[in-house]
């Protein structure tokens, strides 16, 4: 495993040594998140008909428990937010490892949702997985994909340059201000992350196609696509 992480040794060292607003470093916050990441299991424990024990949603419960604990210890708001995100998303890399292929869109969405806590989430998830099973090669592969994107391909996949803004879409397609504009811009960013578009006109053409095919935009939910009115 250490050999797999060796490529990003310097980057990871620099990342974990970054100071927080509470005069601590990220490594300290990551250790605290690791300590608390399963704190939500007792209150989410259930047992199915076969007798198998489940902990559905423990990551969300654990995130709130971690946040409350750090607030009581007078950690800064930035530190509380970081720890909460790490705990809340620590299962995401595991879910990605179950996919046949980790797409560029999946990588983009992972870092979109985890923000600056993304690398910390990867490290915690990897440690968590290694503590449970010796079968970690796939988890290591996913970690490598995510770390490569963050450290070497960030502008290409995670934070692509802005091609169009909300005012551009409102003027071009006679749209009113509202959530729909943000949804369209997000579709543009995802297309950039996938490598499907790279120019302003391509972005406008994509939006035009979306509006023709979906006068009512589909909304992504954890359970699939839900239609919402414009």
Over range 7-25, report the average pLDDT.
93
Mean pLDDT lowest for which of 22-26, 59-63, 206-210?
Answer: 22-26
Residue 211 tokens, joined: 């509006």
Cβ atoms of residues 20 and 26 within 8 Å: yes
In this prediction, residue 218 carries a pLDDT of 55
pLDDT at 2 over 90: no
Instruction: Note the pLDDT of residue 93.
Output: 95
In this prediction, residue 58 carries a pLDDT of 96
Predicted local distance difference test score (pLDDT) of residue 216? 58
The sign of the CA dihedral 91, 96, 99, 105 is: positive
Task: Assign 226 to helix, strand or coil.
Answer: strand
Query: 104 pLDDT band (50/70/90 cuts)?
Result: very high
In whole angstroms, give the CA distance from residue 178 to residue 219. Answer: 14
Strand partners, 221: 224
SS3 220: strand
CA 165 to chain centre: 23
Q: Per DSSP, what are the bridge partners of residue 54?
A: 46
* Angle CA 163–101–131, to nearest 5: 115
CB neighbours of 39 closer than 8 A, spacing ≥ 6? 61, 62, 65, 66, 69, 87
From residue 77, how far is each of 13, 28, 40, 67, 83 by CA, in Å?
24, 15, 21, 9, 10
Q: Which two tokens stand for residue 137?
A: 């090669």
* Residue 42 near residue 92, CB atoms below 8 Å: no
Q: How many whole angstroms separate alpha carbon 38 and alpha carbon 151? A: 28
């Amino acid at each position: 495993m250490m050999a797999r992480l060796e490529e990003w040794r310097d980057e990871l060292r620099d990342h974990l040594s970054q100071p927080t607003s509470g005069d601590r470093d990220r490594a300290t916050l990551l250790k605290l998140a690791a300590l608390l990441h399963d704190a939500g299991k007792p209150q989410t424990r259930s047992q199915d008909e076969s007798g198998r024990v489940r902990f559905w949603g423990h990551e969300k419960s654990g995130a709130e428990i971690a946040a409350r604990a750090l607030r009581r210890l007078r950690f800064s708001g930035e530190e509380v937010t970081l720890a909460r995100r790490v705990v809340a998303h620590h299962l995401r890399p595991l879910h990605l490892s179950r996919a046949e292929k980790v797409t560029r869109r999946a990588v983009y969405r992972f870092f979109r949702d985890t923000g600056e806590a993304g690398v910390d989430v990867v490290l915690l998830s990897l440690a968590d997985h290694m503590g449970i099973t010796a079968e970690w090669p796939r988890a290591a592969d996913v970690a490598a994909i995510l770390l490569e994107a963050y450290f070497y391909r960030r502008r290409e996949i995670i934070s692509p340059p802005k091609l169009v803004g909300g005012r551009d879409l409102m003027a071009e397609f006679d749209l009113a201000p509202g959530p729909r504009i943000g949804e369209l811009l997000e579709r543009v960013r995802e297309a950039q992350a996938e490598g499907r578009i790279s120019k302003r006109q391509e972005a406008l053409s994509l939006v035009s196609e979306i509006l023709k095919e979906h006068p009512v935009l589909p909304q992504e939910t954890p359970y699939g696509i839900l239609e919402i009115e414009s």
